[in-house]
C-alpha cells in the first residue's frame, strides 16, 4: 500500500493478489447493484380535510399512519400527501396534472367529493371530475384507489343516495379499486368526531387506515390482510 492506496501490482504473493482482485471485483459488483437498486415508489394522496388531518396534531392523520406503517414494514414507498382542507373535485382536477408531472406516482389515492355535496354542487359534474382525475392518473401510468364518501340523511334521501352512487359508478366505469365508504368504521362512534361533528378525531385515524388498507394493499402488491402490531 502506498500513500493510503491499494496497489495490486506490487502484491508479492499470487494468492494474496487473487484475494485482492476478488475483493475489488466484489466491491465493484456491490457498487453496481447499489447503483441499479430502484428508488422508492411514490404513493400520492389527493384529498380534502379528511386526508389532510384537519384539527389533528401533526403526524396523527390516517395518511401519516399509512406512511408510518409502510416504514415499519420496511416497504419502499414514499407517501406524498397533497390533500387540502376544503378542496372539491374541481380543485383536485385542476391540481392533478402538476402533481402527476412532479411526483410521478405509481399509485394515487383520490379522496374527494365530500365538499362538493356539502356545497350542493352538481353531482353530474362531481362524477365527471372524478372520472377525469382517474383517467389522468391512468394515462400517467398510475394505479388508482378511489375513496367513497356518504353524507348525512338530512340532505334528503334522493340527493344522499345519488351522491353515494357516484363513487361506485366511477370505479366501475373506469375499472379502478374502490373504498366504499371511508368513515364506515367511524360513524358508529359519535365520540370519535371533533366538535363540528364532521371531522374524525385522532382516535378514529387508525380505523380510517384499516378501512383503506385492504383496498390499497393489492395496488402496492402486498397482502390485503395485516395483523395488528
Give me the mean pLDDT over the 46-64 stretch: 98
Give me the mean pLDDT over the 191-219 stretch: 97
Q: Is the pLDDT of residue 31 over 80?
A: no
Length of the chain: 229
Mean pLDDT of the chain: 85
Q: Is the pLDDT of residue 27 over 90?
A: no
Q: Which of 41, 85, 189, 199 is catalytic?
A: 199
Active site residue 191: no
Tens digit of each residue's pLDDT (9 = 90 or more) over 1-21 = 433 333 323 333 444 444 433
Residue with cell 392533478: 96
Statement: 40-220 belongs to CATH 3.40.50.1220 = no
Tens digit of each residue's pLDDT (9 = 90 or more) over 124-172 = 999 999 999 999 999 999 999 999 999 988 889 999 999 999 999 999 9
pLDDT of residue 2: 37
In terms of C-beta density within 10 A (0-12 exposed, 13-18 middle, 19 or more buried), how is residue 92 classed? buried
Active site residue 199: yes
Active site residue 13: no
Q: Which of 49, 51, 83, 131 is catalytic?
A: 49
CA distance linking residue 63 with residue 49, whole number of Å: 11
In terms of C-beta density within 10 A (0-12 exposed, 13-18 middle, 19 or more buried), how is residue 117 classed? buried
Tens digit of each residue's pLDDT (9 = 90 or more) over 70-89 = 999 999 999 999 999 999 99
Amino acid at each position: 500500500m502506498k500513500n493510503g492506496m491499494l496497489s495490486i501490482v506490487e502484491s508479492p504473493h499470487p494468492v494474496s493478489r487473487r484475494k485482492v482482485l476478488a475483493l475489488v471485483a466484489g466491491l465493484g459488483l456491490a457498487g453496481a447493484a447499489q447503483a441499479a437498486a430502484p428508488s422508492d415508489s411514490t404513493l400520492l394522496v389527493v384529498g380534502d380535510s379528511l386526508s389532510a388531518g384537519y384539527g389533528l396534531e401533526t403526524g396523527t392523520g390516517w395518511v401519516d399512519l399509512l406512511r408510518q406503517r409502510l416504514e415499519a414494514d420496511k416497504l419502499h414507498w414514499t407517501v406524498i400527501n397533497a390533500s387540502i382542507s376544503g378542496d372539491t373535485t374541481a380543485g383536485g382536477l385542476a391540481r392533478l396534472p402538476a402533481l402527476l408531472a412532479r411526483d410521478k406516482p405509481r399509485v394515487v389515492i383520490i379522496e374527494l367529493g365530500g365538499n362538493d355535496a356539502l356545497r350542493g354542487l352538481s353531482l353530474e359534474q362531481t362524477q365527471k371530475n372524478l372520472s377525469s382525475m382517474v383517467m389522468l392518473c391512468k394515462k400517467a401510468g398510475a394505479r388508482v384507489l378511489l375513496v367513497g364518501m356518504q353524507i348525512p340523511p338530512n340532505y334528503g334521501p334522493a340527493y344522499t343516495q345519488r351522491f353515494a352512487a357516484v363513487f361506485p359508478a366511477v370505479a366501475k366505469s373506469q375499472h379502478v379499486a374502490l373504498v366504499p365508504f371511508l368513515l364506515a368504521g367511524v360513524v358508529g362512534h359519535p365520540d370519535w368526531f371533533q366538535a363540528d361533528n364532521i371531522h374524525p378525531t385522532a382516535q378514529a385515524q387508525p380505523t380510517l387506515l384499516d378501512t383503506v388498507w385492504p383496498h390499497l394493499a393489492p395496488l402496492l402488491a402486498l397482502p390485503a390482510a395485516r395483523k395488528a402490531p
